[in-house]
Amino acid sequence: MRKVIFPPVHLATEDGLVAVGGDLRVETILEAYRNGIFPWPLSPDFPLAWFSPDPRGVLLFDELHVPRSLQKALRQNAFDVRHDESFTEIVRLCAMVPRKGQESTWITPEIIAGYSALFEAGHAWCAGAWQGGRLVGGIYGVRLGGFRSGESMFTLESNAGKAALLAAVERLRAEGVPWLDTQMVTSVVASLGGREIPREEFLSKLRSSLP
């Protein structure tokens, strides 16, 4: 089997574009993440692009901030969070649930298939928030050694996605994982203390997390 080789990330464009094309085989995705690169389909004209932005969004668990109002809301909602169950369903819901300010999703059928295969190979994770037997929130990401990424999150009931994320953080801490690659800093990530760091700092943290 041919080895996938990505260009060095320091050659990325100003917006972090490293390469265009390729495939979403498990080996390809893993090689990308080992080098601080992730896939992000842009449009029908560019169905598969690979990025390594500078700066990079991260959630450092020792800087995690959970507002009291959110803690109270989560206690009231009482979600049942389950780990590493219904992975493909969570990814599909991440693709389907509308987001404010977004007209379409980057989570294509190829992305769903690629990351589902990654999960079956033991290199992806998820957390789902259930309420009344219904999956109402969730998050999924990549697992590689001591590295974890958060790829996307969805919410069908207030705070359900945050409940899944915070339960995932608690579990990752117990596993000795101290941070999460969020790639970008969304409003949810920022509200919990996430921030941007220089790409070189991110790559250093990545290298120290890999086997």
Q: What is the pLDDT of residues 75-105, one digit of tens each?
A: 898 899 999 999 999 999 999 976 555 555 7
The shares of helix, strand and coil residues in the chain, as percent rounded to the nearest 5, are 35, 25, 35
pLDDT at 46: 65
Token duo for residue 95: 């693709």
pTM: predicted TM-score of the whole model, two decimal places: 0.94
pLDDT in tens, 8-38: 999 999 999 999 999 999 999 999 999 999 9
Statement: residue 115 has pLDDT above 60: yes
Summary mean pLDDT of the chain: 93
Short-list 30, 51, 32, 53, CA closest to 42: 51
Residue type, 179: W
Strands (E), 12-150: 17-20, 38-39, 49-51, 56-60, 80-83, 124-131, 134-144, 147-148
Q: Is the pLDDT of residue 181 over 60?
A: yes
CB atoms within 10 A of CB 13: 9
Give residue-wise pLDDT tens across range 146-163: 999 999 999 999 999 999
Residue 112 has pLDDT above 90, yes or no: yes
Residues 6+ apart with CB under 8 A from 17: 49, 50, 51
Rounded to the nearest 10 degrees, what angle do helices 109-120 and 87-96 cross at?
Answer: 160
- Residues β-bridged to residue 50: 19, 39
